[in-house]
Amino acid sequence: MATFFNKAFTLAAVASVMTSLLPVAANAAEVNVYSSRKEALIKPLLDQFSEKTGIEVNLLTGNSDALLARLKSEGEYTAADLFLTVDAGALHRAVEADVFQTVSSPRINQVVPEHFRSQDDHWVGLSLRARPIFYSPERVDPSQLSDYLSLADEQWNDRICIRSSNNLYNQSLVAALIEHHGADNVENWAEGLVENFARQPVGGDRDQIKGVAFGVCDIAVANTYYFGHMLNSDDAEEKSAAEKVKVFWPAQDSNGAHVNVSGIGITKHATNVDEAKQLIEFLLSEESQKWYAEANYEYPVREGVAWSETLQQWGDFKQDDISMDILGENNAEAVRLMNRAGWR
């Protein structure tokens, strides 16, 4: 299958290669994964799976939208058995593109809470990242903070760093707020939030955290696992920046802090379905879930798995238990709303 991944991206090439490989694939113990997760954040687990089961994992990594487009174009000739991506909105797009088949597994349903898996059994969450508020303890009293909607208050004028509206993590946050508070209220909030930007949105989540550390802004919204990687970074400047910032868990008296999932589904035209199911179940094992917490600074989707020391330092918090499906269903409305509000 490694040969397949190097072929030109055309249906003709895919069909030709797959025809030549079918006799091998029929007998080989293998599973093929398209993943928008960076290789370093998933391959160690895949290697453990291969060592444990003897099933070879062929991994292709890339941009989520590009991989989804590839899956759609390849159709029945795809080599992919699994599609793994890092946001509920991206998973919803895959469902809409009809590239998944249903996964029937009592074992999966037993260990993954219902709101962290697709209502129609097309995908299942693997790990969680929260999207709280980060603040400078030198310039912000945490008693001034409350929930996401309070970020539109005038006290935060020119004091907030956040990524652009093109960022899927922000879109999912807004999609959740729409479900809780209604589109009109959230659009008014988004207009106020834009007024409070310390700068035009630029960079990734780490850049927003650095903005707080370096005094560009006083508060930021970002995903926790980026913060975890910064705190444990070999880059002295990055680690120092993270140490100047603290986490505030918003909405603890109401819906809870926004969380999102990385998730996985078996492709519609998968040829190694049994192996694909085995890999999903392995990724949901206590061993794998503990690795997510310790190596990736993500929260386990499986309950009862110990958090890493880094995660424990930020304290326990109430999570928003909204269905991850809703984040995808409300995505288009969230994007339109953000654009109307001037969030670029």
In angstroms, the CA 3 to CA 24 distance is 12
For 206-246, what is each residue's pLDDT tens digit? 999 999 999 999 999 999 999 999 999 999 999 999 999 99
For 263-293, what is each residue's pLDDT tens digit? 999 999 999 999 999 999 999 999 999 998 9
SS3 340: helix
State the average pLDDT over residues 157-166: 98
Dihedral (Cα; 273, 277, 279, 283), 10-degree rounding: 150
Q: Which one, of 40, 122, 115, lies nearest residue 303 by Cα?
A: 115
**Which residues line the annotated binding site for Fe cation?**
225-226
The pLDDT-based confidence of 22 (bands split at 50, 70, 90) is very low
What pLDDT score was predicted for residue 14? 39
Least confident of 98-107, 189-198, 207-216: 98-107
Q: Is the pLDDT of residue 16 over 70?
A: no
Q: Is the pLDDT of residue 11 over 50?
A: no
In angstroms, the CA 147 to CA 86 distance is 24
Model pTM score? 0.90
User: In the predicted model, what is the mean pLDDT of the chain?
Assistant: 92
State the average pLDDT over residues 93-103: 96
Domains of the chain, with CATH numbers?
2-128+260-307 (3.40.190.10), 130-257+316-340 (3.40.190.10)
Structure-block tokens of residue 236: 């002295």
Would you say the C-alpha torsion 257, 330, 344, 223 has a positive or negative sign? positive
State the average pLDDT over residues 53-66: 97
What pLDDT score was predicted for residue 53? 97
In angstroms, the CA 88 to CA 259 distance is 10
Q: Is the pLDDT of residue 20 over 60?
A: no
Q: Are 49 and 55 a contacting pair, CB within 8 Å? A: yes
In angstroms, the CA 14 to CA 172 distance is 34
Interior/surface letters 3-18, b for 16+ CB within 10 angstroms, e for the rest: ebeeeeeeeeebeebb
DSSP conformational letter for 261: E
Q: Which one, of 287, 263, 269, lies nearest residue 49 by Cα?
A: 287
Q: Is the pLDDT of residue 12 over 90?
A: no
State the average pLDDT over residues 172-201: 98
Q: Could you give the percent of the chain with pLDDT greater than 70? A: 92
In angstroms, the CA 306 to CA 293 distance is 8
State the average pLDDT over residues 89-109: 93
* 51 CB-near residues (< 8 Å, 6+ apart): none
CA distances to 58, 109, 272 from 24, rounded to whole Å, are 14, 33, 12
* 207 CB-near residues (< 8 Å, 6+ apart): 161
Q: How many CB atoms lie within 10 A of CB 58?
A: 20
What pLDDT score was predicted for residue 103? 87
